[in-house]
């Protein structure tokens, strides 16, 4: 009985879809079950970030960087501020550095929690999503205690911070860490070793290392494919070299190296590493030091350009800043890690079933605000 191939229909997993983590349209060629080709369409959330950066001063750019990757706005500020301080050769005192690392790592935990929760939601597991958001709320309480906002903070300014730590911050964070550490194992068992979850993610959407490097994929997706590449260690910035943490890499425990389960596993391990970093940072946190000490009155960087990368929860977050000596940037380009993570979807997603493709998209953990800028 010859295999009669049906016609290919064109479906839109369109701009409004629960599994596309925002407004992304996947135009999909399928014969009903097997997806033969995926073409992502973006731009539904293009908010002209780079045009704004050319018309506002350097300080005013920071709230816009918050709104690009709204799941990890602390690390977006951190990236911009590190680039600016390198451009203007500003040296901040140790207390600011330690607070920035604590905030960035707490934000990494919160962002990974929602990333894994949404990934489980795409595969139909609703309760882990609720558990993880419950713990994420506790981190948001800590952020709200320090900078007053829950989601978009405008906390790290060029040369310092907007507010110093409130009293009781150290106890609150330590209480959270002690409460949270056993919870990570619970999440791993609740979701990671669940038979259905393993069946739906192991060996699916495998991404070999060369494909990842060639497509410019970075961050947990690249580490899931077995490449040990973490900017905090390989291109160190701030004071990450004072902390002892290792970089988790996908080892193909449940399937082959680089499949969806590995990307999930790398994120869970990264949460544990971040908890270790925050613990050490709080222990070495210097008591004295004014956070507004090295903040320049008027930010006028010297003429020139700089490209600086930092490690955001989604990968290499690069800022290319060209300044012409005035107080507004001449050009600011943000290299977004989720942008390249999405470009690899067709390469590793074509040929899988419809439900697997949505699982693969969930494992890439993309945020549309950062892709469309």
169 belongs to the binding site for other proteins (CB under 8 A) = no
> Does residue 20 contact residue 361 with C-beta atoms inside 8 Å?
yes
369 belongs to the binding site for other proteins (CB under 8 A) = yes
Q: Given the rule CB under 8 A, which of 91-99, 161-169, 264-272, 348-356 is the region that contacts other proteins?
A: 348-356
Q: Which is nearer to other proteins, 131 or 183 (CB)?
A: 131
Task: Retrieve residue 279's tokens.
Answer: 């613990």
Task: Output the smallest distance, CB 60 to other proteins, in A.
Answer: 10
Q: Which is nearer to other proteins, 151 or 196 (CB)?
A: 151
| Residues 9 to 28 in contact with other proteins, rule: CB under 8 A | 9-18, 22-23, 25
Q: Which is nearer to other proteins, 207 or 291 (CB)?
A: 207
| Residues 217 to 256 in contact with other proteins, rule: CB under 8 A | 227, 229, 234-235, 244, 252, 255-256
- Out of 90, 211, 266, 273, the only residue in the binding site for other proteins (CB under 8 A) is 211
Count of residues of this chain found to bind other proteins when the rule CB under 8 A is applied = 108
Q: Which is nearer to other proteins, 31 or 290 (CB)?
A: 31
SS3 category, 31: coil
| Residues 256 to 315 in contact with other proteins, rule: CB under 8 A | 256-259, 276, 279-280, 282-284, 304-305, 307, 309
Task: Output the smallest distance, CB 146 to other proteins, in A.
Answer: 17
How many CA within 13 A on the CB side of residue 283?
10
CA distances from 8 to 32, 33, 36, 177, 353 (A): 8, 10, 9, 51, 14
- Out of 57, 59, 70, 86, the only residue in the binding site for other proteins (CB under 8 A) is 70
163 belongs to the binding site for other proteins (CB under 8 A) = no
Name the H helices within the chain.
49-53, 58-68, 73-87, 94-122, 126-147, 169-187, 195-201, 209-214, 220-224, 231-234, 260-283, 337-343, 345-349, 354-364, 368-372
Task: Output the smallest distance, CB 252 to other proteins, in A.
Answer: 8
Task: Output the smallest distance, CB 44 to other proteins, in A.
Answer: 5
Indicate the angle between helix axes 94-122 and 126-147, nearest 10 degrees. 160
- Out of 89, 91, 167, 171, the only residue in the binding site for other proteins (CB under 8 A) is 171
Q: Which is nearer to other proteins, 293 or 334 (CB)?
A: 334
Helix, strand, coil percentages (3-state) for the chain, rounded to 5, are 50, 15, 35
- Out of 37, 94, 164, 203, the only residue in the binding site for other proteins (CB under 8 A) is 203
Task: Compose the 25-54 pattern: x for residues touching other proteins by CB under 8 A, - for all others.
Answer: x-----xx-x-------xxxxxxx-xxx-x
Q: Quick one: CA torsion of 167, 171, 175, 176, rounded to 10 degrees?
A: 50
Alpha carbon 149 to chain centroid distance?
19
| Residues 116 to 135 in contact with other proteins, rule: CB under 8 A | 129-131, 133-134
Q: Given the rule CB under 8 A, which of 1-9, 80-88, 96-104, 291-299 is the region that contacts other proteins?
A: 1-9
Rounded-to-integer distance, Cα 199 and Cα 259, Å: 12
Who's near 36: CB < 8 A, 6+ residues apart?
8, 29, 30, 350, 351
Task: Retrieve residue 240's tokens.
Answer: 């990450």
- Write phi, then psi, for 26 (nearest 5 degrees): -100, 115
Task: Output the smallest distance, CB 20 to other proteins, in A.
Answer: 9
| Selection from 131, 124, 104 nearest residue 270 by Cα | 104
Task: Retrieve residue 358's tokens.
Answer: 């949505």
148 belongs to the binding site for other proteins (CB under 8 A) = no
| Residues 87 to 106 in contact with other proteins, rule: CB under 8 A | none
Task: Output the smallest distance, CB 353 to other proteins, in A.
Answer: 7
């Amino acid at each position: 009985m010859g295999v009669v191939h049906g016609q290919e229909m064109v479906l839109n997993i369109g701009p409004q879809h629960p599994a596309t983590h925002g407004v992304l349209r996947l135009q999909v060629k399928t014969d009903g079950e097997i997806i033969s080709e995926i073409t992502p369409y973006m731009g539904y959330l293009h908010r002209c970030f780079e045009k704004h950066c050319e018309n506002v001063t350097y300080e005013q750019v920071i709230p816009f960087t918050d709104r690009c990757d709204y799941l990890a706005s602390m690390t977006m500020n951190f990236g911009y501020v590190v680039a600016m301080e390198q451009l203007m050769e500003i040296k901040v005192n140790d207390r600011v550095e330690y607070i920035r690392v604590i905030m960035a790592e707490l934000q990494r935990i919160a962002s990974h929690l929602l990333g894994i929760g949404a990934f489980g939601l795409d595969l139909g597991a609703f309760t882990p999503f609720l558990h993880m958001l419950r713990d994420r709320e506790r981190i948001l309480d800590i952020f709200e205690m320090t900078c007053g906002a829950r989601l978009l903070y405008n906390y790290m300014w060029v040369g310092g911070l907007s507010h110093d730590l409130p009293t009781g911050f150290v106890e609150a964070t330590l209480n959270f860490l002690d409460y949270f550490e056993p919870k990570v194992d619970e999440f791993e068992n609740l979701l990671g070793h669940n038979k259905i979850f393993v069946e739906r993610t192991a060996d699916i959407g495998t991404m070999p290392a060369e494909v990842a490097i060639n497509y410019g994929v970075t961050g947990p997706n690249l580490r899931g494919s077995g490449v040990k590449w973490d900017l905090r260690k390989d291109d160190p910035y701030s004071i990450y070299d004072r902390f002892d943490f290792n970089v988790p890499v996908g080892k193909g425990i449940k399937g082959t190296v680089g499949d969806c389960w590995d990307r999930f596993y790398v994120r869970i391990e990264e949460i544990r590493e971040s908890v270790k970093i925050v613990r050490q940072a709080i222990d070495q946190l210097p008591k004295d030091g004014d956070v507004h000490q090295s903040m320049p009155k008027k930010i006028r960087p010297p003429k020139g350009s700089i490209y600086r990368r930092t490690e955001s929860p989604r990968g290499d977050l690069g800022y290319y800043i060209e300044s012409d000596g005035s107080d507004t940037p001449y050009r600011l380009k943000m290299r977004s890690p989720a942008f390249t993570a999405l470009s690899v979807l067709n390469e590793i997603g074509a040929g899988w079933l419809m439900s697997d493709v949505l699982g693969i998209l969930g494992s890439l953990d993309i945020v549309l605000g950062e892709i469309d800028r």
